[in-house]
Amino acid sequence: MITVKVKLSATLGQEIGVSKIEVSLPEKSSIMDLVHEISRLYGDRVDKILFDARRRSFKFVSFVNRSRRLTGEILNDGDEVRFLLPTGGG
């Protein structure tokens, strides 16, 4: 098992009631595995924040140890993960 630290966005943190959590996962787990575990732990209310209405796509940009990563990236013990909403401009 590995343990990763997750810094939550304001929206997620308010819903869960904390700004940081630690999540245990099996070795070779990906960022998307982490997302699914957070959703499992905290239920439908968090699931609605994390995914689009049809649960087809993840709405956040993933960072691992301050570097942007794709959701298929494999996590290591002690990694720090942050999910941020993408910003648009124009």
* Residue 68 near residue 62 (C-beta atoms within 8 A): yes
Q: Using alpha carbons, list the distances in angstroms from residue 69 to 17, 19, 24, 62, 77.
A: 26, 21, 19, 6, 16
Per mean pLDDT, which range of 4-8, 43-47, 53-57 is the poorest? 53-57
The structure's pTM equals 0.85
What is the spatial distance between Cα 89 and Cα 84, in angstroms, rounded to a whole number? Answer: 16
Quote the tokens at residue 26.
């099996």
pLDDT mean over 26-43: 92
Per mean pLDDT, which range of 33-37, 42-46, 53-57 is the poorest? 53-57
Quote the tokens at residue 39.
């959703």
